[in-house]
Amino acid sequence: MLSPTQTLAAGLRLPTNGLDYAILAIYFAVVLGIGFAARRSVRTSLDFFLSGRSLPAWVTGLAFVAANLGATEILGMAATGAQYGVAVVHWYWIGAIPAMVFLGLVMMPFYYRSKVRSVPEFLLQRFDKSAHLLSSILFAFAAILIAGVNLYALSIVVEALLGWPQWVAIVVAGLFVLAYITIGGLSSAIYNEVLQFFVILAALIPICVIGLKRVGGWGGMTDSLESAHGHNFLSAWGGTGIGEANPLGANWLTIILGLGFVLSFGYWTTNFAEVQRALSAKNLSAAQRTPLIAAFPKMFIVFLVMIPGLIAAVLVPKIGTAGSGLTYNDAIPYLMQELLPNGVLGIAVTGLLAAFMAGMAANVSSFNTVFTYDIWAKYVKTDKPDAYYLKFGRLITAVGVLASIGTAFIASSFSNIMGYLQTLFSFFNVPMFVVFIIGMFWKRASMKSGVWGLLAGTTAAMVNYFVIYKQGVIDIPTDQGANFVSAIVGFVAGAVVMVVVTLFTAPKPEAELAGLVYGTTAPGLEEPPAEGDDAWYRKPALLGWGAIALAALCYVPYSL
């Protein structure tokens, strides 16, 4: 058998056969079938963009976590595990769970009761048109870039599977996603995401089990990694003291503030690709429970993406270097090639394709909603009949997919696509979060402070990354560390500018803030709980605090 380096030099190519392709064909047929079934329920633009606000919490909860569990999550977090070790758990236990709980307990009541159809539309109600338009443009641009990352991630797998050039894989895959989203709208995307969640698990579990057996079990793997990389590679907090060295290149302060607060809250609370799933729930209780239900599988999925990265680091000790011929992004395809028998390989390939479609569909469906409602219907073609916006929504979906195909090639220049994603989040999500959080909790924040805070935060984060970090003004060891710092800089800059602008501009009339600022209520927006929602196990507070306590306990074995 060839050594790992020799195999890679010969090119990644999965040894698929007819059984693997049959599994893949069945899956694609089911996906399109769900799309056609969902089409029957699409009669209005609200049906197309928000599933008519009719879905139960368990469906939207699984769709919420599946929308995040895209190909970028799987390939990117496995790459992060291979590059930084156990530190990848931070992106889940401190970088996701608290923010998801905050979204469910604090922010969803504002989103859902205000009946907004998108995240930028909330800024229109809280601030003014300038904040709304700028946030809509920034969000639409970011959604296309992130969808392009998903396309590129898939192209890595398809290239290994079929030997297609990456550009061919990107175009073909993009057109397939275009078909099933335009057919059934958000309902098609959500129900497919529920299916995709279980297919993804079926793909990742065999890689972990067979891979651990290959490297001598958990003990054999950790012994090899500690010998090659040191103890801190296997510790979540080891070496994170200020001034100490660790694989991540970040200290505990930048991890907690940059990732645990600014980046994570910025992503989970304002990223419409996720919030859209909760807004499609049938009532407020279901909307609140959507991210809370998703938090429980989310905190354990880290093992299914981290372990393959650690295994790849054992099997290919020089992974990510020119000497191996293998980038960190190739960790999952390499393990599929080396470890999985036919049949199981077909399930794994199907799972990765499912992950890709979940991630891209989430971003494309959020893009078409924001572009249609917040840009086109608000500023270009106003007061058109609903049928017009339904038709335009399908058209702009095609434009979004084509644009995503173009941005996919930008992602190909990054050796770790998760690092690229974190860079995008620090540019776009963090500034939007600071505007949201100040506007939601500070009644005095003026109408004009929203747009200037958003502009200042975005600009400051970009300047920190492209000028201060990339030009070497300040020495930051890794891209991930730079992303954490950029997020903090963007948050602080946005907050400071909002406060200063507020001191010199007029606040919004207090009567117009009802239901938009914490501590205020708007008459007529309260709704009685649905039957069964008062059951103890459906209490949002219990689910939320239970998720936080469990995530904290997960840290214990990796903090010694």
400 — phi, psi (to 5°)?
-65, -40
State percent of the chain over pLDDT 90: 22
When pLDDT is cut at 50, 70 and 90, the band that residue 7 belongs to is very low
Residue 281 forms beta bridges with which residues? 55
Long-range contacts of the stretch 390-394 (C-beta < 8 A, 24+): 390/42, 390/44, 390/45, 390/48, 393/45, 393/48, 393/49, 393/185, 393/368, 393/369, 394/48, 394/182
Question: What pLDDT score does 49 carry?
Answer: 67
When pLDDT is cut at 50, 70 and 90, the band that residue 467 belongs to is confident
Which of 462, 435, 433, 428 lies closest to 451 in space, CA to CA?
A: 435
The residue ranking higher by pLDDT, 249 or 397, is 397
Core vs surface per residue 287-299: b (16+ CB within 10 A) or e:
bbbbbbbbbbbbb
256-288 pLDDT, tens digit per residue, is 887 888 878 888 888 777 888 888 888 888 889
CB 498 within 8 A of CB 435: yes
When pLDDT is cut at 50, 70 and 90, the band that residue 450 belongs to is very high
Would the pLDDT of 182 be above 80?
Answer: no
For the segment 430-457, the average pLDDT, to the nearest whole number, is: 91
CB 66 within 8 A of CB 408: no
Question: What pLDDT score does 99 carry?
Answer: 93
Which range (21-35, 282-296, 512-526) has the least confidence?
512-526
Options 1.20.1730.10, 1.10.260.40, 3.40.1010.10, 1.10.3720.10; CATH for 16-518 is: 1.20.1730.10
When pLDDT is cut at 50, 70 and 90, the band that residue 13 belongs to is low
Angstrom distance (rounded) from CA 369 to CA 44: 13
Q: What are the extents of the domains in the chain?
A: 16-518
Core vs surface per residue 228-251: b (16+ CB within 10 A) or e:
eebebbbbbbbbbeeeeebbbbbb
When pLDDT is cut at 50, 70 and 90, the band that residue 553 belongs to is very high
First to last CA, the chain: 39
H or E element: which one contains 537? none
Percent helix / strand / coil, the chain, rounded to 5: 75, 0, 25
Question: What pLDDT score does 438 carry?
Answer: 92
Max avg pLDDT among 150-164, 241-255, 334-348, 494-508: 494-508
Which of 279, 365, 387, 274 lies closest to 53 in space, CA to CA?
A: 279
Angstrom distance (rounded) from CA 396 to CA 379: 16
Q: Which string of DSSP letters, residue by residue, matches 338-401? A: HHPPTTHHHHHHHHHHHHHHHHHHHHHHHHHHIIIIIIIIIIIS-S--HHHHHHHHHHHHHHHH
Q: Which string of DSSP letters, residue by residue, matches 201-265? A: HHHHHHHHHHHHHHTTHHHHHHHHHHHHH-GGGG-SSTT-STT---TT---HHHIIIIIIIIIHH
Max avg pLDDT among 38-52, 257-271, 514-528: 257-271
Helix (H, G, I), strand (E, B) or coil at 177: helix
The residue with tokens 């606040």 is: 507
392-428 pLDDT, tens digit per residue, is 888 888 888 888 888 887 777 666 666 777 788 888 8
H or E element: which one contains 13? none
140-155 pLDDT, tens digit per residue, is 988 888 888 878 877 7
Q: What is the mean pLDDT of the chain?
A: 82
Angstrom distance (rounded) from CA 519 to CA 165: 56
| 391 to 24, 34, 43, 183, 388: CA distances (angstroms) | 31, 20, 11, 11, 5
Question: What pLDDT score does 1 carry?
Answer: 30
Would the pLDDT of 533 be above 70?
Answer: no
When pLDDT is cut at 50, 70 and 90, the band that residue 3 belongs to is very low
One-letter identity of residue 106: V
Which of 508, 493, 509 lies closest to 452 in space, CA to CA?
A: 493
The residue ranking higher by pLDDT, 201 or 471, is 201
The residue ranking higher by pLDDT, 546 or 516, is 546
Name the maximum alpha-carbon separation found in the chain. 74
CB 407 within 8 A of CB 145: yes
CA Rg, the chain, in Å?
23
Angstrom distance (rounded) from CA 151 to CA 173: 7
Question: What pLDDT score does 2 carry?
Answer: 31
Question: What pLDDT score does 162 carry?
Answer: 66
71-86 pLDDT, tens digit per residue, is 667 877 888 888 888 8
Angstrom distance (rounded) from CA 360 to CA 537: 33
DSSP 8-state symbol, 538:
G
